[in-house]
Structure 1
Amino acid sequence: MAFSTITDLDVAAAQRHSSELRSRLLTSTSTTYTTGADGTGNGERVLVLGGTGYIGRALVPELARRGYRPAVLARNAEAKNDAEFADAEIVVGDPTRAQDVLDAVAAAPTAVVISLLSGRRPNDAEECRLVDHDAIVHGIQAAVAHEVQQFVHISDFGAYRPELIPQVYKLQVEGELMGQHHGALDWTIIRPTSYFPYLAMTFGDVKNGEPYRIFDHGEYSVVNPIAREDLAEFIVNHVLREESYGRVLPVGGPWTDDNVVTLKGAGQMMFDVTGRPESWNVVTMASWDKKIARLTRMGRISKQLKPVAYYLEAAKYWSVVDHVAPAYGTRTLRGFMEKLKDREFPTGSFRERMKSGTNLMPTDI
């Protein structure tokens, strides 16, 4: 989806908006949620789809600690060797295959199905359809067929302004849940703002002396990201909680100076944590718009260029759209970066590592 061009007036207005929004958050108290584990299970089986991913590795142990019996649908049995899944039942299967999901739910009485599913290649429209829609629908249909008590869909805060392919499909799933398109089923939808690794993608670049890229002033939008551990606790708080049935729950991390950031603020945090002098690669949004338009036109002819145009649009989206939600948790973006500062990162720029296929995000902490 193409974005409209940002004018000089928009540039200045956006910076004022971000400054005012951040100031309001830092001088306010978020009272929507109370941080802390709330509720325990009694051995109920909870099937997690997408449980071997970044959030799942925090959610599955949290379910076990809180008295639930987690089961994870994984593509291979080797997941059982990972410490995070020591207390989990591993069911081998592929969520994009409806029968595999049906079998996983039917393997034992299942009280709750939680979907963390999210495509790994957000620029691939077909994969997004298969994972961000079809696979989740398989979970919904299996839950209906076996009278599961609750389906928990971990969506995306971007569903409030869906402009990227995965967000559109996640919103479609939300609509199908709300409309009971696949049968009667109690549901809870959770929309997290963003995760720490996404805001720390270029931490290695900064540590290796590379400049940090911003658009114009770098203050088009504000985000309060949430730690996976805090999100896991939040999710489990709403498992089998009747007050959460039929609700959409937006959630982000603490409203604190070290967690409410603009794109430039995240960069300044990296320079501060690494001890590197500030070095900025300033790109004008006007030139970025032109690049997107050009690559979009060329992408109609070249399949190789179409994904590139998508990444440029995604970079703009995450730079100009606020992702601010009620606060939950205690962990902060700065705290995450502090854990990264003693690590070694591959040399070369983010762009070079992306081309070589090197793991882009520090997702192991």
Structure 2
Amino acid sequence: MAFSTITNLDAAAAQQHSHELLDRILSTASSTYVTGPVGQGNGERVLVLGGTGYIGRALVPELARRGYRPAVLSRSAEVKNEAEYADAEVIVGDATKAADVAAAVKAAPTAVVISLLSGRKPNDVEDCRQVDHEAVVHGIKAAVANDVQQFIHISDYGVYRPELIPQVYKIQVEGELIGQHHGYVPWTIIRPTAYFPYLSVAFGDVKNGLKYRIYDHGEWNVVNPIAREDLAEFIVNQVLNDDAIGRILPVGGPWNADNTVTLKQAGEFMFELNGKTPDWEVITMASWDKKIARLGRLSKLTKQLKPVVFYLEAAKY
């Protein structure tokens, strides 16, 4: 399997493009589509795979608030003691094991299966294959076998131009779901923009006096991240929604001055919130790409270096 990379880009041109994009966005009347909560459940069981992660901690309570009966597959029963899961059914099992997923779906009549599954090691090909592809397929097959009314796959906005290993597997799942490779189940695919759990880690680093890493000028990209609470609301809006069946739905935060940022602007905001003077770790993209290329050549001789190469590529995001 081949993975594309962001290499040989013109830093100055990228910065100019980001500035032009920001100017255009902020000088145009916003056409952001805002719904708020739409739809209410009536006790239907909704199984969430990957529900103990960053997004799941917002999604599970939202399902309960909206009248659904959330169920979560978790490796640990201790999750039930956490506030976010007080109203959820917790089933102990491993999403990478087909039998555990099948048992979770069959445990009670299940109306909807939602997959939030995403590997925690974006630089590890095997981990991504097991979690971002195989585990999701386990969910699809179990949904088909148990006549589930809807399978909702939370994909990634980045699949429009996949650069990272998880994105490659996520778009593969999309194709298999749409093509009914594993049998028929009504589907909905959601492609959120970055919700950046990374930034919460970076915020902690800044708070503790560490530097904030940027590449070159820190303005390679402009993003409109979506808060996990807003994403959770959007996901629940699609549950058993006839208009969402058979659709790919991109979603992001508002394109306005308060939510449209470059990596550098996000860092400036963190330093401001912490009352600190900006302290940057500036790395040139050219030097980083040379390091990736050099290690890439060495990884052909030493397999242990392959995860390092993927990590360095992922770090640019």
Tell me how far 1:2 sits from its aligned partner. Answer: 5.5
**Please, which moves more after superposition, 116-125 or 255-264?**
255-264
Counterpart of 1:282 in structure 2 is 282
Counterpart of 2:305 in structure 1 is 305
**Please, which moves more after superposition, 20-29 or 83-92?**
20-29
User: Root-mean-square deviation (CA), in Å?
Assistant: 1.6
Q: Quick one: which amino acid aligns to residue 6 of structure 1?
A: N
Q: Quick one: which amino acid aligns to residue 212 of structure 1?
A: Y
With over 3 angstroms needed to count, the CA separation of the structure-2 counterparts of 1:4 and 1:255, relative to structure 1, is closer
Q: Please, which runs of 5 or more residues in structure 2 have no aligned partner?
A: none
Tell me how far 1:30 sits from its aligned partner. Answer: 4.6
Q: Are the equivalent residues in 1 in contact too, given 2:32–2:254 (CA < 8 A)?
A: no
Counterpart of 1:248 in structure 2 is 248
Tell me how far 1:27 sits from its aligned partner. Answer: 3.1
Tell me how far 1:131 sits from its aligned partner. Answer: 0.7
**Percentage of pairs with the same residue:** 71
Counterpart of 1:21 in structure 2 is 21
> CA–CA distance in 1 between the matches of 2:85 and 2:43?
16
> CA–CA distance in 2 between the matches of 1:5 and 1:143?
40
Counterpart of 1:181 in structure 2 is 181
Q: How does 1:220-231 map to 2 (within 5 A)?
A: 220-231=220-231
With over 3 angstroms needed to count, the CA separation of the structure-2 counterparts of 1:26 and 1:35, relative to structure 1, is farther
Q: Are the equivalent residues in 1 in contact too, given 2:61–2:85 (CA < 8 A)?
A: yes
> CA–CA distance in 1 between the matches of 2:27 and 2:67?
37
Q: Are the equivalent residues in 2 in contact too, given 1:115–1:139 (CA < 8 A)?
A: yes
**Secondary structure of the corresponding residue to residue 201 of structure 1:** helix
1:6 is aligned to 2:11: no
Output the TM-score relative to the length of structure 2.
Answer: 0.94
Q: Are the equivalent residues in 1 in contact too, given 2:122–2:314 (CA < 8 A)?
A: no
With over 3 angstroms needed to count, the CA separation of the structure-2 counterparts of 1:96 and 1:290, relative to structure 1, is same
Counterpart of 2:90 in structure 1 is 90
> CA–CA distance in 1 between the matches of 2:288 and 2:19?
23
**Secondary structure of the corresponding residue to residue 282 of structure 2:** strand
With over 3 angstroms needed to count, the CA separation of the structure-2 counterparts of 1:222 and 1:162, relative to structure 1, is same
**Paired residues, number:** 315
Tell me how far 1:248 sits from its aligned partner. Answer: 0.8
Q: Are the equivalent residues in 2 in contact too, given 1:2–1:293 (CA < 8 A)?
A: no
Counterpart of 1:125 in structure 2 is 125
For 1:107-135, what per-residue CA distance to the aligned partner results, in whole angstroms no more than 9, with x for missing partners?
11111000000111121111111110011
**Secondary structure of the corresponding residue to residue 223 of structure 2:** coil
> CA–CA distance in 1 between the matches of 2:203 and 2:261?
15
Output the TM-score relative to the length of structure 1.
Answer: 0.82
**Secondary structure of the corresponding residue to residue 169 of structure 1:** helix
> CA–CA distance in 2 between the matches of 1:258 and 1:32?
13
For 1:250-302, what per-residue CA distance to the aligned partner results, in whole angstroms no more than 9, with x for missing partners?
11112232321111111111121112112222222111111111111222233
> CA–CA distance in 1 between the matches of 2:6 and 2:127?
27
With over 3 angstroms needed to count, the CA separation of the structure-2 counterparts of 1:139 and 1:5, relative to structure 1, is closer
Q: Quick one: which amino acid aligns to residue 106 of structure 1?
A: K
> CA–CA distance in 1 between the matches of 2:166 and 2:262?
23
Tell me how far 1:61 sits from its aligned partner. Answer: 0.8
> CA–CA distance in 1 between the matches of 2:117 and 2:245?
20
Counterpart of 1:354 in structure 2 is none
> CA–CA distance in 2 between the matches of 1:205 and 1:128?
26
> CA–CA distance in 1 between the matches of 2:34 and 2:205?
36
**Secondary structure of the corresponding residue to residue 218 of structure 2:** coil
Q: Quick one: which amino acid aligns to residue 155 of structure 1?
A: S
Q: Please, which runs of 5 or more residues in structure 1 have no aligned partner?
A: 319-365
> CA–CA distance in 2 between the matches of 1:261 and 1:277?
19
Q: Quick one: which amino acid aligns to residue 62 of structure 1?
A: E
For 1:85-111, what per-residue CA distance to the aligned partner results, in whole angstroms no more than 9, with x for missing partners?
111111121111111111111111111
> CA–CA distance in 1 between the matches of 2:57 and 2:108?
22
With over 3 angstroms needed to count, the CA separation of the structure-2 counterparts of 1:258 and 1:201, relative to structure 1, is farther
> CA–CA distance in 2 between the matches of 1:55 and 1:215?
27
Q: Are the equivalent residues in 2 in contact too, given 1:3–1:289 (CA < 8 A)?
A: no
